[in-house]
Amino acid sequence: MAKTHVKQGDEVVVLTGKEKGKRGKILELRPSKNRAVVEGLMMIKRHMKKSEENPEGQIAEREGSIHISNLMLASKFDERQSRKN
């Protein structure tokens, strides 16, 4: 398991991809795959079978994972942006 530059609970900014520029809090780290689940980003749809809780079935939305290399701590990002301007 490699050491990462982010940890659970950190606020991060996405640097690349379709969610570029968006911020969120890390909910879960998956170090074996070098990925993180960020609150409110990379939403995916999950089709649920019919069950007692969902008699009609359901399409649930939840967060997908983002590769750690595409994330930067929000504090470092803000510092970098202030230096640029």
CA geometry: angle 30, 74, 76, nearest 5 deg: 110
Residue 3: its pLDDT value, please? 80
User: What pLDDT shows up at residue 81?
Assistant: 86
Other CB atoms within 10 Å distance of the CB of residue 42 = 19
Residue 53 has what pLDDT? 86
Given CATH 2.40.70.10, say whether it is the number of domain 11-84.
Answer: no
**Alpha carbons 7 and 72: distance in angstroms, whole number:** 11
Q: What pLDDT was estimated at residue 1?
A: 61
pLDDT beneath 50: ranges in the chain: none
pTM: 0.80
**Closest residue by Cα to residue 71 from 21, 2, 9, 1:** 21
Given this model, what pLDDT does residue 85 score? 72
